[in-house]
Structure 1
Amino acid sequence: MRVGHGTTDLPVPDGTPMGGYLDRPGPSAGLADPLTVSAVTWSDGERRFALATADVICVNEDLAGRARSAAGCELWLAASHTHSGPETGCVPGGGPTPEPWLDRITEAVRTAVRRAIDGERPCEGTVHRGELHGVGADRSRPQAPAVVPLDLVAVRDGGLAGVLVVLPVHPTVLPATSRLVSADLVGAVRRSLRERLGGNVWVTVATGAAGDISTRHTRRGQDAAELERLGALVADRCAELLAGPGTPLWGAGPAGGRISWATRRLTLEPAATTADEGALTAGYEQAVASGDPVATRLARSRLEGVRARTSPPARTGVDVNVARLGGLALAGLPGEPFLAVAERIAGRDAGRDAGRDADSPGEPTVVLGYVNGYPGYLPTACAYRRAEYEVLASHVAAGSAELIADTARHLLEEV
């Protein structure tokens, strides 16, 4: 297998509308750290697959299609979901990508993919998986354990050439009041891990199934210092995992591994959830009066969920993407799937039911979120029993996430 990596900056001019928060006080007004578009390409001599990651809030289907055409090969375009970048049309149910970002991001993807292809060379691949503590947790359950799975795909050409990190945590440390452009947590992880691995090792960070996972209950602040602290925690854990044995995925020779992929189109039914905004407002006022900051934040998020629905829910079309890169099973899901959706695809929930080690499924399976479309939140069916932000903001019916997960599993069996 031949693997390459390329990257390019994504400049954001001052005065650009920013995505991610409804109560942003104004457009961008400076740069905290640069946004990037990066690409990793794999070639087996017959087929080429590219994964591009962009430091934007979301990728709509129009942008994904334009970028694929520009790349000239099979391409998945994933958003990091930074809330400190440009607004790219991130509305529940998806929408058009505003100019000039449709053209700018497409051109950046073209540049990054071309650089990756030009740099392809024979490489081996391994996957490393472990638990990450103290960075992400269920943001609607303050007492939930702060533990998430961390996946690393390591690429070696004798020594370590590069690492793809899949982090299932909302990259939201900086507050809504910030008007500085930043890749937020994803950027902090990239910087910290590069420092540990050395300048010759490329690092790409993709956001996993993070619909219900964030730093809300783990962060100690919302500034640059806290970004660096959390980024260092992730980087230290990555370095620890890379120092241990990994599971082989493909070899460097001509017969080192084969590439295949598949996509299936689904139509998701509209959400039936209704909410009494007056009651939620009263609940928020009671939380404020109590002086409990956690209760206040959760109550405010429920109101934000109702107000995030800018139009009545309708049927939503989505693409479910899977690929096999040698021995790696890869799923690319649209929108913001809950973490349990990824566990369902990887078979770790089935492993628990069968009495197997939940962290030792039959094959290495890595799940990305925010890929090739934005239907919004994809909560699990059981989450619809609670009136939390993600359910109130979702445009899709209960059971949609399970339909997507099961489709991905079946596609992986077919390719």
Structure 2
Amino acid sequence: MRVGFAAQTLTVPPGTPMGGYAFREGTATGTLDPLRVSAITWSDGVRRFGLALIDAICVNADLTQAARAAVSGVDLLWVAASHTHAGPETGCVPGGTATPPDWLATLSTAVADTIAAARRAETGASGLVHSGPLHGVGAVRSHYAGEPRVPLDVVEIVSEGRRAGVLVVLPVHPTVLPSENLLVSADLTGAVRRALADRLGPGTWIAVAAGAAGDISTRRTRQGQDASELDRLGALVADRCLELLDKAAAPAPETGSTDSSAPRVGWADGSAPGIGGASDGSAPGIGWASGGSAPGIGWAADGDLDWRSRRVTLEPKPPVDANALIAAAEDGIRAASDPIAARIAEGNLDGARMAAVVAPPEIEAEVAAVRIGDLLLAGLPGEPFLSAAEDLRLANRAREEQQGCPRAVVVLGYTNAYPGYLPPAAAYGSATYEVLASAAAPGSAELITRTVADLFAALTPPP
């Protein structure tokens, strides 16, 4: 297996409309920290898979199509957004829309250039997946209850006997900076990259992708909304990544909440369901090998890639009485008893205002899965809730028990299309921001999750 990486800076001129906050006033006035387009390629000698990560609010289907048309030498390309709310507006509308023409051209060209550079940088590489809980950074943003804990995945790439790079998948909205901010920034994603780069040194590349973060943010964990708070939270994530990289995995999961509107915890300290090892934690994870086998589970030099994708059509959410929702949300703001309650109520008001937007009659989305050795990578469109990733991990674990074939599951959100928020069906009974702002009907999240599970089952087993 050969793996390559490249990155380039994404320039955003002053005066650019910024994405992420529907009611933000003003345009970009400067740059706090630079945005980036990153690319990772995997090649098994027969086929090549490319993953492009863009510091933008979202990736619409037309941008994915344009990038695929611009890229050469790659058999499959995924394009995913970091979901920074301090980058350019790329057409983040519930249900999806057209990407602004200038950004469509700029981003598709940047993806093509970065993928080409990653291809040129490919070397023989092995890899491992390290997973475990991250405390104190992300929590369900529309609820008071629940420990601030989310699953963190770190894919480690090793080449020529040394750590070449890491791909971090973080299921937390990268929204530390407030809506009043007019400085371009990769926000939490950039802070994690910087903190990891400081710790791992110049010889290791860093990529950070957004996971299933639809209902998870820093609202209940952040102590401020400025650059110093970005540094603090970025350091927490980076230090936990180092712990996972240096720590053996333990297979025993723990049972979490059954509340469908909160993240269901299914990971033990040092491992996620489906990532195995001895009961004493002696196996470091699941991965792949460029020759022979890596610690854990791997593949030989001629090991293969496999992938599946499917387009799904989601029904729009039925029309609602937006005026009544706005009035109820305004009542919630007046009744708020503390700053967190007020912020939740303000978010619900924003969602109620967005509920007045008429959804398209049909919402198209691409659902995709890739197997890289014993790593199963899911690419989910839009903003899936954390429970979607946990459902996929649990389904994979059940399949493991039947087939005796352990695999790691890593789930990306914001990938290849933007249908908007995808709450679980049970959450539609609450008037929270994510439900109010969603364009998709109840059951959409479950349809996407079932589709990914079917795609996982259809992937060929590794040699």
TM-score (ref. length: structure 2): 0.85
Residues 317-368 of structure 1: per-residue CA shift (max 9 Å, x gap):
11100000111001000000000001111226976xx9x9xxxx94200000
CA distance, structure 1, for counterparts of residue 242 and residue 450 of structure 2: 33
Q: In terms of mean alpha carbon deviation, does 294-303 or 33-42 score higher? A: 294-303
Residue in structure 1 matching 2:220, options 217, 224, 247: 217
Mapping 1:335-414, distance limit 5 Å: 335-347=382-394, 362-414=406-458
| Distance in 2 between residues matched to 1:313 and 1:240, nearest whole Å | 45
CA distance in 2 between counterparts of 1:283 and 1:37 reads 38
Match of 1:204 in 2: 207
CA spacing shift, 1:115–1:180, aligned 2, 3 Å: same
Q: Secondary structure at the match of 1:314?
A: coil
Deviates more, 1:312-321 or 1:156-165: 312-321
The equivalent of 1:80 in structure 2 is: 82
Distance 1:279 1:203, change over 3 A: closer
What whole-Å deviation, never above 9, does each CA across 1:212-268 have from its counterpart, x for those lacking one?
Answer: 000011000000000000000000000110012332321113635210111111111
Pairing 1:202-351 to 2, within 5 Å after superposition: 202-245=205-248, 246-253=284-291, 255=301, 257-272=303-318, 274-278=320-324, 280-285=326-331, 287-288=333-334, 290-309=336-355, 310-347=357-394
Higher alpha-carbon deviation: 3-12 or 272-281 = 272-281
Q: Distance in 1 between matches of 2:172 and 2:335?
A: 31
Could you tell me which residue of structure 2 aligns to residue 29 of structure 1?
A: 29
3-state DSSP class of the match of 2:237? helix
One-letter code aligned to 2:54: A
CA contact (8 A) 1:256 1:326 kept: no
**Matching residue of 2:108:** 106
> Structure 1 residues 384, 376: CA separation in 2 closer, same or farther (over 3 Å shift)?
same
1: distance between equivalents of 2:328 and 2:145? 24
In 2 relative to 1, CA 307–251 (structure 1 residues): closer, same or farther, beyond 3 Å? same
Residue type of the alignment partner of 2:289: G
Contact 2:4 2:121 in 1 (8 A): yes
- TM-fit CA distance, 1:22: 1.7
d(CA) in 1 for partners of 2:438, 2:335: 29
Choose the corresponding residue for 1:156, options 141, 155, 158.
158
Q: CA deviation at 1:275?
A: 4.4
> Greater shift after overlay, 314-323 or 125-134?
314-323
The answer to whether the 8 Å contact 2:329/2:348 transfers is no
* 2:11 paired residue number: 11
Distance across 2 between alignment mates of 1:320 and 1:68: 16
Distance change in 2, residues 1:244/1:333 (3 Å): same
Mapped contact 2:59–2:80 kept (Cα < 8 A): yes
Cα deviations by residue, 1:90-125 (Å, 9 ceiling, x for unpaired): 000000000210011111111111111001000111
Amino acid aligned to 1:81: H
Amino acid at match of 1:46: V
1:399–1:278: structure 2 CA closer, same or farther, 3 Å change rule?
closer
Residues in 2 aligned to 1:290 and 1:213: alpha-carbon distance in whole angstroms: 21
Write the mapping of 1:168-207 to structure 2, written as runs, cut at 5 A: 168-207=171-210
- 1:76-155 aligned at under 5 Å gives the runs 76-155=78-157
- 1:22 and 1:10 map into 2 onto residues whose CA distance is 22
Contact kept in structure 2, 1:52 and 1:76, CA below 8 Å = yes
Distance 2:126 2:332 in 1: 57
- CA displacement 1:48-102 (0-9 Å, x = unmatched): 0011100000000000011112222211000000000000000000000002100
Where does residue 257 of structure 2 map in the other structure? none
What is the one-letter code of the residue matched to 1:26? G
| Partners of 2:132 and 2:329 in 1: CA distance | 39
3-state SS, counterpart of residue 327 of structure 2: helix
Counterpart CA distance in 2 for 1:333 and 1:312 is 20
CA RMSD of aligned residues (A): 1.9
1:299 deviates by 1.7
Between the aligned partners of 1:231 and 1:101, the Cα distance in structure 2 is 28
Find the counterpart in structure 1 of residue 67 from structure 2.
Answer: 67
Cα distance change, pair 279–65 in 1 and its aligned pair in 2 (3 A): closer
Specify every segment of 5 or more residues in structure 1 that has no aligned partner in the other structure, as ranges: none
Report the TM-score when normalising by structure 1.
0.95
Letter in 2 for 1:189: V
Q: Would the aligned equivalents of 1:212 and 1:339 in 2 still touch at CA under 8 Å?
A: yes
Counterpart residue identity of residue 304, structure 1: D
Pick closer, same or farther for the CA change 1:385–1:303 going to 2, 3 Å. Answer: same
Matching residue's letter, 2:107: I
SS at match of 1:261: strand
What runs of 5+ residues in structure 2 fail to find an aligned partner? 249-283, 292-299
